[in-house]
Chains A and B, each alone.
Chain A
């Protein structure tokens, strides 16, 4: 399978605990995005990386959230001191940076990690 993969698919945690999610993008893609999606809503942008560099962060990304992409391949999203309002689907997507290939910009999504904070 050469698509975007995410792990775990489901996570249940207690309020106050830390959680970490992983995303493996399509191998030739150098851009990686994190989105959050709540029930009945469209995905909301959180942050994105081009290679190792985190180029943009949404105001939705509070100081309890941190994302890394240390080697420019997989990425992790950590949420510290989880709150019930953090319950959502966390989606990862990847794409090629504009100008690098003929099929630029299109973001391909992984299956998501559903987080439930009790």
Chain B
């Protein structure tokens, strides 16, 4: 079946460096993507979204890039802080149906 996956299960970065978390999706019909952050014992928290008619979207310290040609999504976090340590999920949505989540990438920020 269609699925969303992540290239790297864990990522360690130095505080202050930029982080890049990658995600591959297989459903070319997906039109909406979200990055979620999940801290231990909490529900997923919305970070940023992007629709399939866009290639890039920026938020506060975060940027999402979408490459539809190779079905790849990435989350860039600028000046990574200790509070960014969490598991990050990408999720895809096909015209308002339920989201399909990848397995997640754990981001560890080193002091």
Contacts and interface: CB of A to CB of B under 8 A. Distances in A.
Contact of A42 (B45, B95, B98, B101): B101
A67 interface: no
Interface residues of A, number: 26
Given A42-B89, A45-B100, A106 B43 contact: no
A98 B32 CA distance: 12
A41 B93 contact: no
B64 interface: no
A105 B96 contact: yes
Interface of B: 4, 32, 34, 36, 41-46, 49, 89, 91, 93, 95-104
Q: Is the interface of A mostly helix, strand, loop or mixed?
A: loop
Interface string A88-115: 0001010001100000111111111010
Interface string A35-63: 00000111111001000000010100000
B89 A112 contact: no
Contacts of A97: 96
Given A40-B103, A41-B104, A98 B89 contact: no
Given A42-B89, A91-B43, A104 B103 contact: no
